[in-house]
Structure 1
């Protein structure tokens, strides 16, 4: 059975370190800072995220399940993504389980630290990832510029 997220002091220190490095402009793979306004408070909340890039598209994966940033982005539909001191306003579309499965499989192949939060392994068939998808939402990213051309 998959673990449930319970942040420890070490987790919080690690997140703070990643956020400080990302804010300073250090490139760490496909990690970015996601800033979403709270659905109740309206205050901005920032978390480090690992983007998945596939077929020229970018995706956000919620490896720890339906956490606060997921609830906020579902309510708002938009956020700010910052990578190497470049910020962009993004819109997101949540994917259905069948569409999310290959993205989750790719994510689990790169994000080894999150494997305990999944009930599948990186070698599981796509059908297993489809069953896992409701617990780990996947969002397709669209930039504000892309939307204005549609």
Structure 2
């Protein structure tokens, strides 16, 4: 298990923007499993912001994970209470509800199995018990996605 100071800090770089742009093309085509384009409305600017994300889907429930911590889209989602997800030309609006540590832990454990490149941002190893993920849930916000009430 890596110590707190050994974990990398997420920084949006030019290379990451280019990589996200390439991923967006693949996601729009539906080529990347479990991945969607997340769109949030800026809490200050009101502008729309889009970023690729990987969802955890289990037992009919959908979970949105912030592997890099409380980045801009997390703050925007918290403020708006809603996000949209796009894949293969289909856009769906969702209500977001932030999960507590007990619910987030199992989701985080499953998430790092799906999104291998994010593993360095977690203290818990992929084979660690769920309790290790519960312990660091405060560093990786998790949101349950539900359809808006009609």
- Normalising by the smaller structure, the TM-score range is over 0.9
Which residue is 1:22 aligned to? 27
Deviation at 1:113, TM superposition (A): 0.2
Q: Give me the TM-score of the superposition, normalised by structure 2.
A: 0.92
For residue 41 of structure 1, the aligned residue among 36, 40, 45 is 45
SS in 2 for 1:51: strand
Partners of 1:13 and 1:28 lie apart in 2 by 17
Partners of 1:22 and 1:85 lie apart in 2 by 10
Q: Is 1:11 paired with 2:16?
A: yes
* Structure 1 alignment gaps of length 5 or more: none
* Structure 2 alignment gaps of length 5 or more: 1-5
Q: Give me the TM-score of the superposition, normalised by structure 1.
A: 0.92
**Correspondence list, 1:57-68, <5 A:** 57-68=61-72
Partners of 1:63 and 1:95 lie apart in 2 by 14
Kindly report the root-mean-square deviation, in angstroms, between the aligned alpha carbons of the 2 structures.
Answer: 1.1
Q: Is 1:31 paired with 2:35?
A: yes
How many residues align structurally?
Answer: 145
Partners of 2:13 and 2:74 lie apart in 1 by 20
